[in-house]
Structure 1
Amino acid sequence: MNKPVNDSEEFVYQVCNKSFLSLWSYANPTGKNSKELCDILVVCEPDIIIISVKDIKLTDSGDIETDWQRWLRKAVKGSVDQIYGAEKRIKSTSHVIRSDGSQGLSFPSSDVQRIHRIAVALGGDNKVPIEFGDFGKGFIHVFDRVSFEIILRELDTITDFVQYLIDKENLYYSGKETVFEGYEEDLLGYYIHNGRSYPQDFDVIILGSNIWDEIINKPEYKAKKEADRNSYMWDKLIENISEDVLNNNLEFGPDLNQSELALRAMARETLFVRRILGKSFSDFMDLAAQRIIESRTLISPESNIAYVFLAKPHGEDRQYRVSELGGRCFVVRGLQQNCKTIIGIATEQYQPGKGFSFDIIYLHKQTWTAEDQKQLEYAQREFGWFASPQQKSVHEQEYPTN
């Protein structure tokens, strides 16, 4: 994927790439007449995030009010125009065009797509009061460097981040009066403190300037951040498979759009669930390396997607491995009737000094027939796939306590 063209766009791209991962983040995508559409575009159905970045140095003429207005006009108004123009173009286009002219992912259909507009205004040095809102053609979130980095670091999955944008936008359109004495991160702190929501039974919200600092210094918050480290394993797994997809290294896997269905589902898991999934996958790989188990199933408590992990010895034919993975996914679909979507991930059992490869399968089956049940029973009887499954419940607190 092509890199951003200047330091300010590099900053935003790196933050987005870490949070939304490379398969869904586009730097400087192309619009009409080969002109730049926007600075950063994130497409992860049903969500489209349009990001415009302006880095304008704040001047010091001696008239602070004039300096502020001049900076806001250049740093925010320029982004507003670019964002609205990009949105109009997207609504008449079928897919992303990368900066090199190649085709990216398809845009979600108009009946499901949700567009989020973000202006990132750099160069104000936290001296200029920044306003967000509807600038005439839809709500635009306006962040400075500090607030943008904090929010994406805290809400570092597309699902968590987008939900914050939606809830904040709904707060704005609710007509409730909000008085700011602090910054965007204090609004985020208030949101987190209230269980990731804004209370409805109020007339006025007054946001102090130290809410965020109070939140991050709480012991339960620090315990959460430590526990969240387990989610990095899930992030790394998505990114590794994404690289294989983009580099055509999935020898027997589906095409880009089919692979994207599986990876998108994995990426749309919340941070809390990623913590559970990452820890489970890590534990599975440890047990597989010891030849204790070779497959495991885990059901996401939020998305209700069943994940099937498979680890086979090095040197085993990948076509056989893919076939087994598909068969196991089919069996799990029958065993877990409430799970309509199954995602299978196969790799090698870990051995020091040896590389690894991935295979991924996306199975969505709405109905289960009598014939399907016969095939399931045959697979259990003939191959032993989950013939005697053992169930284990996992309890996890988002904010761990002693």
Structure 2
Amino acid sequence: MNKPVNDSEEFVYQICHKSFLSLWSYANPRGKNFKELCDILIVCEPDIIIISVKDIKLTDSGNIEVDWQRWLRKAIEGSVDQIYGAEKRIKSTSHVIRSDGIQGLPFPSLDVQRIHRIAIALGGDDKVPIQFGDFGKGFVHVFDKISFEIILQELDTITDFVQYLLDKENLYNSGKQTAFEGSEEDLLGYYLQNGRSFPENFDVIIVGSDIWSEIVKKPEYKRKKEADKESYAWDKLIEIISQDVLSNDLEFGSTLEKSELVLRTMARESRFMRRMLGKYFSEFMDLAAQEKTESRVLISQQLNTVYVFLVKPHGEDRQHRIAELGGRCFIMRGLQQNYKTVIGIATERYQPGQGFSFDLTYLHQESWTSENQKQLEYVQKEFGWFESPQQKSVHEDEYPAN
């Protein structure tokens, strides 16, 4: 079973599972000789997040310096050793091995993989100054319970979270000074206030103790969180299809790796982009249920990807549905030549009490030839797909105005 072994790991795993979704989240994966590799592992190419969790009770010997050092040694240094060991093993391993011994996703190749190291130090009761940085074999981010929960609730996609980690590493590797009056969540607040970046021209950054608490009170922040609710329709779509993939319920030869390529692209959309994708996908499914449309195209400029959605009546032959989905994806690759990747998702028209299935298509084509254009024109004429598509451009602010 892919389940954590104790309450502390369960706490961290549930947060990771919600943010990074089930297909890419592993609890207690196995390493050499079936020993535990690390506590939590996230693999979403090109990123690998190695997480070690330590829950060490802060003792009270009467000497606070001694107590702090003892806690730091057990809670942080122990995690750092596990993380570095896991990283070394990963670099010589082809696939994730789940806690139940079943093979999971392949690790990204060495030439593209980006490894992020995270230690979660619990039990310090927010009394011990947290240390982070390069402990000898690469930068390790260290979070306590409060900061980890806040950051993963705010940056709850692989893209948003990893970008914060990278920007934070760059900040500290630059050698610039940062003075902490507050906590990690205040650094996150400073980052968000500056347009998801850290300023380059400065001598010292002073991170105040009330930055985060002030941000969450702002009306524009509350409007953003309200608007983001629509984005979770996208998460739900990914999760529903992922469960079919993990239970091997997709038909017609879909493998874990082929299906994951489609879902990984969807999962690498930021929260802001998911807001628009989720909104217009939900709108499309409502219209399809009323038999007012059967196909819609959504374009993600963030990932330079075109999404083609197709809904057909219950009982329609799956092979025909897959063929139509592939044909529509091919046409859109030709009609939108600035976008080289097209993802297709087909399902049934929603009917209360009826089940549903999914078919997936992934098309990536670097160039578009004259022969491709002839094929496109033939298919369009033969089947009428996207002959006169209605186009609509929308604008949305991450922090909506009143």
Q: TM-score, normalised by structure 1?
A: 0.99
Whole-angstrom CA distance in 1 between matches of 2:240 and 2:128: 41
Do structure 1's residue 90 and structure 2's residue 90 form an aligned pair? yes
Classify the secondary structure of the residue corresponding to 1:206: strand
Whole-angstrom CA distance in 1 between matches of 2:217 and 2:324: 48
Matched residue, 1:49: 49
Classify the secondary structure of the residue corresponding to 2:160: helix
The offset of 1:385, in angstroms, is: 0.6
The offset of 1:252, in angstroms, is: 2.2
Whole-angstrom CA distance in 1 between matches of 2:253 and 2:289: 24
Matched residue, 1:341: 341
Question: 1:46-97: CA deviations, max 9, x gaps?
Answer: 1110000001111122222211111111110100000000001111111111
Q: Is the 8 A contact 1:306 1:342 kept in 2?
A: yes
Do structure 1's residue 2 and structure 2's residue 2 form an aligned pair? yes
Do structure 1's residue 394 and structure 2's residue 372 form an aligned pair? no
Matched residue, 2:206: 206
- Consecutive unaligned residues of structure 2, counting only runs of 5 or more, are none
Question: 1:100-141: CA deviations, max 9, x gaps?
Answer: 111111111111110000000011111111011000110000
Instruction: Specify the code of the residue in structure 1 equivalent to 2:71.
Output: W
Classify the secondary structure of the residue corresponding to 1:23: helix
Matched residue, 2:40: 40
The offset of 1:261, in angstroms, is: 0.9
Q: Is the 8 A contact 1:97 1:103 kept in 2?
A: yes
Instruction: Specify the code of the residue in structure 2 equivalent to 1:65.
Output: E
Number of paired residues?
A: 402
- Consecutive unaligned residues of structure 1, counting only runs of 5 or more, are none
Matched residue, 1:183: 183
Matches within 5 A, 1:110-129: 110-129=110-129
Matched residue, 1:289: 289
Q: Is the 8 A contact 2:38 2:83 kept in 1?
A: yes
Return structure 1 stretches of 4+ with deviation > 6 angstroms.
Answer: none
The offset of 1:322, in angstroms, is: 1.0
Whole-angstrom CA distance in 1 between matches of 2:354 and 2:33: 47
Classify the secondary structure of the residue corresponding to 1:337: coil
Whole-angstrom CA distance in 2 between matches of 1:146 and 1:360: 39
Q: Is the 8 A contact 2:186 2:209 kept in 1?
A: yes
Matched residue, 2:372: 372
Whole-angstrom CA distance in 2 between matches of 1:76 and 1:68: 11
Classify the secondary structure of the residue corresponding to 1:308: strand
Superposed CA RMSD in Å reads 0.9
Q: Is the 8 A contact 2:3 2:99 kept in 1?
A: no
Whole-angstrom CA distance in 1 between matches of 2:61 and 2:207: 31
Q: TM-score, normalised by structure 2?
A: 0.99
Which stretch of structure 1 is more off in the superposition, 169-178 or 96-105?
A: 96-105
Classify the secondary structure of the residue corresponding to 2:23: coil
Classify the secondary structure of the residue corresponding to 1:311: strand
Classify the secondary structure of the residue corresponding to 2:22: coil
Classify the secondary structure of the residue corresponding to 2:72: helix
Instruction: Specify the code of the residue in structure 2 equivalent to 1:90.
Output: I
The offset of 1:301, in angstroms, is: 2.2
Whole-angstrom CA distance in 2 between matches of 1:394 and 1:359: 28
Q: Is the 8 A contact 2:314 2:349 kept in 1?
A: yes
The offset of 1:350, in angstroms, is: 1.1
The offset of 1:353, in angstroms, is: 1.5
Matched residue, 2:332: 332
Matches within 5 A, 1:343-362: 343-362=343-362
Matched residue, 2:26: 26
The offset of 1:253, in angstroms, is: 5.2
Matched residue, 2:156: 156
Matched residue, 1:271: 271
- 1:340/1:253 Cα in 2 relative to 1: closer, same or farther (>3 Å)? farther
Whole-angstrom CA distance in 2 between matches of 1:185 and 1:194: 14
